[in-house]
Chains A and B, each alone.
Chain A
Amino acid sequence: MLRLSRISKHFPGVKALDGVDLELRAGRVTALIGENGAGKSTLVKILTGIYRPDGGEILVEGQPVRFDAPEDAQAARITAIHQETVLFDELSVAENIYLGHTPRTRLGLVNWAAVQARAAALLFGLDAPIRPRTLLKNLSIAQRHLVAIARALSVDSTVVIMDEPTAALSHKEVEDLFRILARLKASGKAILFISHKFEELHRIADDYVVFRDGRTVGSGTMAEASHDNLVRLMVGRSVDQVFPKVPAPIGAPVLEVRGYSHPTEFDDISFTLRRGEILGVYGLVGAGRSELCQSLFGITRPSAGTVAVEGRPVRIRSARDAVAAGIVYVPEERGRHGAVLAMPIFENVTLGSLGTVSRRGFLKTAEEFRLARHYAERFDLRAASLSQPVGTLSGGNQQKVVIGKWLATNPKVIMLDEPTKGIDVGSKSAVHAFMSELAGQGLAVLMVSSELPEILGMADRVLVMREGRMAGLYEREGLTAETLVQAATGNTGVRH
Chain B
Amino acid sequence: MPGFDLRAALRHRELLLAAAIAVLLGAIAARFPGFVAPANLFGVFNDSAILIVMALGQAAVILTRSIDLSVAANVALTGMVVALLDAHHPGLPLALLIGVALLQGLGLGAINGWFVWKVGIPPIVVTLGTLTIYRGLAFVLSGGAWINSFQFSQSFLALPRAVVLGLPVLSWIAVAVVAVMAVVFGRSPVGRAWYAVGGNPTAAVYAGIDAGRARFLAFCLSGLLSGLCGYLWVSRYAVAYVDVASGFELDVIAACVIGGVSIAGGIGTVWGTLLGALFLGIIKNALPVIAVSPFAQMAISGAVIIAAVTLNTRAERKAGRIILRPVAGLPGRADRAPARATP
Contact = CB atoms under 8 A, between A and B. Distances in A.
Contacts of A358: 189
Interface stretch (A7-15, A84-92, A157-165, A284-292): A7-15
A394 interface: yes
A337 B200 CA distance: 8
Interface string B198-223: 01101111111110000000000000
Contacts of B208: 318-320, 322-323, 352, 409
The binding surface of chain B is classed by DSSP as helix
Interface residues of B, number: 45
B331 interface: yes
B267 interface: yes
Contact of B335 (A51, A339, A341, A393): A51
Contact of A338 (B1, B206, B331): B206
Contacts of A388: 1, 4-6
Contacts of A365: 187
Interface in B163-188: 183, 187-188
Contacts of A322: 208
B89 to A, nearest CB: 37
Given A342-B6, A384-B2, A52 B339 contact: yes
A405 interface: yes
Contacts of B296: none
Interface in A302-319: 318-319
A251 interface: no
B225 to A, nearest CB: 20
A342 B319 contact: yes
A331 interface: yes
Interface residues of A, number: 59
B56 to A, nearest CB: 18
Nearest to A389: B6
Contacts of B199: 340-343
A423 to B, nearest CB: 6
Contacts of B329: 12-13, 394-396, 398, 422-424
Contacts of B339: 51-52
Contacts of A423: 329
Contact of B330 (A299, A339, A422): A422
Contact of B183 (A50, A320, A362, A393): A362
A351 interface: yes
A387 interface: yes
A391 B326 CA distance: 7
A385 interface: yes
Interface in A345-400: 347, 351-352, 354-355, 358, 361-363, 365, 383-385, 387-389, 391-396, 398
Given A12-B328, A51-B335, A384-B3, 8 more contacts: A11-B332, A11-B334, A319-B209, A351-B196, A355-B189, A365-B187, A394-B329, A398-B327
